[in-house]
Amino acid sequence: MLAVIIGVSAGVIAALKQNTRWDYTVMGFAMTGVVIPSFVVAPLLVMVFAITLQWLPGGGWNGGALKFMILPMVALSLAYIASIARITRGSMIEVLHSNFIRTARAKGLPMRRIIFRHALKPALLPVLSYMGPAFVGIITGSMVIETIYGLPGIGQLFVNGALNRDYSLVLSLTILVGALTILFNAIVDVLYAVIDPKIRY
């Protein structure tokens, strides 16, 4: 959810400020976030915020206290924020140049109303297509983050089960991930119909 809110907001701002400093800044961050893997980002965050600045703890669980979750959440969501921002920017620019947006501008509608009532919904459709696999990736691809920050999770559980040849555990987690994939894709299909009523017919 954090990745969606930040990514969509950054993408919309970049699209509205196309070819300006804001746009270049957001796209520079997006490209950097996409190409740098989590096993590089996570240690860097620990070095900067836990060791050098000593603002946040560098690992541990401590009952799920918020300050222990900040660095893992940032490390895990950074790549998804970057991807969502890039997708949102491209989609929003395309929508803003469409005929129905030109008509809304010609009618003299306020820009805020054009964006939130007319442009944002169709611009979110490519983001929704990305979100189904992304949610599953967040759940299953967190093994590196869990290892670096010493957190219990599905990723470590799966690896430990494979190393210990606990086939029942590995099979159970595989079924769980498969079920979550189906569930998230079904949610995305429902949201598609909510955002774009034309899909219902």
The CATH code belonging to domain 2-200 is: 1.10.3720.10
Predicted pLDDT of residue 140 = 66
Residues 6+ apart with CB under 8 A from 197: none
Give the Cα separation of 146 and 92 in Å (integer). 35
Give the Cα separation of 129 and 135 in Å (integer). 11
Predicted pLDDT of residue 201 = 52
DSSP class per residue in 18-55: TTSHHHHHHHHHHHHHHHS-HHHHHHHHIIIIIIIS--
Residue 25 one-letter amino acid:
T
Residues 6+ apart with CB under 8 A from 184: 131, 132, 135, 136
Residue 87, Cα to own-chain centre: how many angstroms? Answer: 11
And the tokens for 40? 């590089």
Domain residue spans of the chain: 2-200
Instruction: Work out the angle at residue 6's Cα, subtended by the Cα atoms of residues 80 and 18, and round it to the nearest 5 degrees.
Output: 95
| pTM given for the model | 0.81
Give the Cα separation of 164 and 167 in Å (integer). 9
**8-state DSSP, 185:** H
**8-state DSSP, 153:** -
**One digit per residue, pLDDT tens: the chain, 201 residues?**
777 888 888 888 888 888 888 888 888 888 888 888 877 888 888 888 877 877 877 776 766 667 777 888 888 888 888 888 989 888 888 888 888 888 888 888 888 888 888 788 888 888 888 887 787 777 766 777 877 777 777 777 887 888 888 888 888 888 888 888 888 888 888 887 777 666 655
- The region that residue 70 occupies, defined by phi over 0 for left and psi between -120 and 50 for alpha, beta otherwise, is alpha
| Tokens 């800044």 belong to residue | 25
Q: What are phi and psi of 65, to 5 degrees?
A: -60, 145
Closest CA to 140 of 110, 173, 167: 173
Question: Could you give the C-alpha distances from 114 to 4, 102, 109, 151, 173, in angstroms and in order?
Answer: 21, 10, 7, 44, 45
Predicted pLDDT of residue 49 = 82
Predicted pLDDT of residue 64 = 60
Predicted pLDDT of residue 62 = 66
